[in-house]
Structure 1
């Protein structure tokens, strides 16, 4: 089997984590690029990567590279995605995949035109636990899914100069942590939800500090999402079925959950290995690339982006580098 060669675009902390845990027998990290050759060389030496590039264009011009992992700050994702697709590379992009629905639709259209695979690096769509929960829903006769409650709160200092609260760097809770909460909900819902109502609290810098969202879909599966970027909250999702509920802690990379029955008895559901979370998604992505099949997780990513865009439109929150029409 031919080895798939990966190139890394953007060499921050998340790229270091990617290089550390990458473990695919039929794939390898072939190169890494930065705007500085010195920085790229230091990164490739640290992680034993064979090729360093002093510009993104240089890496994209290398015919040996099959896949680009976009690990730049998310306000630069769109440019990196489009450049990579135009260079004939498949793209695996960090979250949030783009800033808004308009950007994602443009990227999807280009990927389709070029017959290339585009996907968001969202572990939630690939963790074995979630398929096991769905199996247990049937095996334990839990009945229909009725509602989902999701929370995510992270305490960050209210410093407008850091990326979390800087509007010029696309700061705010929605694109930073809300994407996880909404991806969890969408993964477990049986159909796309619509945004019914939302409230937000802006920070002094103008980005979203706190918000709540209420969603519903055609099957009357209701979702409540609570986000906060200045208060610690559990990364917890609760799936409420007719005959029990399942609590999933640390849902971005979980390998166990607790099922609670109406009489109060509990049962642990386990599947997969949280420490290997990244490699589940890498394996699945490579399988799609090899098979030239449609990437079904991109539809989930699109549904989440629609909700995030609709919420910001209702708030009237537009980043300085966006136009109000970007949120239509």
Structure 2
């Protein structure tokens, strides 16, 4: 596999985690961007980055940059993705890749028109465990899949000034953690649509807690539980006519427990173990670089497209729009 120069935009905790992974995987990082010189220089020194840029467009003008990793707040992603793609750079963007489906559709079309790779930072797309799980299902070991259940709950401080609760910054549980849960359902159900929702809003008007039911043409169902002020286990269950699979810590899962329901009174349980949690971001890096080598991804952008449209439909059901969307066409 060829050598690729990564440029990181942003210097927060997500950027720091990716920088550590890039150093482990590739041995070096080409560039980092932050408009605050002090932050960019400190980040470059800490993570052994060759170049520190203080202007995003200046970094994009550097012909040595191959891949731009975006780790800024949600509301910046759309413009930064477009600028990077128009500069001829491949893009790996943290979730949520865009704040709505219209933005997603536009950047997807742009990436395709320029033959560039665009990928969203859902670690569960890249954990090797899921290849084993999907093969087991494809082999019919669980029978006919009937239902997928998934939880995600964070305990954020009860502080309306936090970005997590800001309508101006696309806050709320749905966009911050709901994408992971929806992506999990989409991995196991073909093209689900929103069949029903219920929501509790925070005082700022963003979603604090919700329940979402998805359904598809095969009458399979997905049930999602999200919360921003109550911790939940990151637990996913895929259930079929012959058994079910339980996956804990599903965003970075390395183990699944498979229960085969032999009959109404008898069952047997096996475990699948593969991968390492602390290599989750390295799996993302390897896949991104492999996608560039082969000229396409393995279907993850299609999953991300469906997730973006589902999240839009959920918000439509709630009647919730982010502040800036009121000025959008």
Structure-2 residue corresponding to 1:121 = 121
Q: Distance in 2 between matches of 1:139 and 1:308?
A: 31
Contact kept, 8 Å, 2:197 with 2:212, in 1: the verdict is: yes
Structure-2 residue corresponding to 1:67 = 67
How far apart are 1:218 and its partner, in Å? 2.0
Q: Distance in 1 between matches of 2:301 and 2:144?
A: 25
Contact kept, 8 Å, 2:23 with 2:47, in 1: the verdict is: no
**DSSP 3-state at the match of 1:200:** strand
The 5 A counterparts of 1:49-64 are 49-64=49-64
Structure-2 residue corresponding to 1:232 = 231
Contact kept, 8 Å, 2:85 with 2:114, in 1: the verdict is: yes
Query: TM-score, normalized by length of structure 2?
Result: 0.94
How far apart are 1:28 and its partner, in Å? 4.2
Structure-1 residue corresponding to 2:287 = 284
Moved over 6 A (4+): none
Superposed CA RMSD in Å reads 1.7
Q: Relative to 1, partners in 2 of residues 1:203 and 1:60: Cα closer, same or farther, differing over 3 Å?
A: same
How far apart are 1:5 and its partner, in Å? 0.3
Q: Distance in 1 between matches of 2:116 and 2:277?
A: 29
Structure-2 residue corresponding to 1:176 = 176
Q: Distance in 1 between matches of 2:327 and 2:153?
A: 28
Q: Relative to 1, partners in 2 of residues 1:181 and 1:289: Cα closer, same or farther, differing over 3 Å?
A: same
The 5 A counterparts of 1:287-302 are 287-294=290-297, 296-302=299-305
How far apart are 1:325 and its partner, in Å? 6.7
- Structure 1 range deviating more: 287-296 or 254-263: 287-296
Q: Distance in 2 between matches of 1:137 and 1:227?
A: 26
Say how many residue pairs are matched.
325
Q: Distance in 2 between matches of 1:25 and 1:211?
A: 38
The 5 A counterparts of 1:208-227 are 208-227=207-226
The 5 A counterparts of 1:165-204 are 165-189=165-189, 191-204=190-203
Query: Structure 1 residue 145 and structure 2 residue 148: aligned?
Result: no
Q: Relative to 1, partners in 2 of residues 1:11 and 1:256: Cα closer, same or farther, differing over 3 Å?
A: same
Structure-2 residue corresponding to 1:154 = 154
Q: Relative to 1, partners in 2 of residues 1:2 and 1:261: Cα closer, same or farther, differing over 3 Å?
A: closer
Structure-2 residue corresponding to 1:273 = 276
Contact kept, 8 Å, 1:118 with 1:298, in 2: the verdict is: yes
Q: Which runs of 5+ in 2 are unaligned?
A: none
Contact kept, 8 Å, 1:160 with 1:205, in 2: the verdict is: yes
> Per-residue CA shift, 1:12-33, capped at 9, x if unaligned?
1100010112257568420000
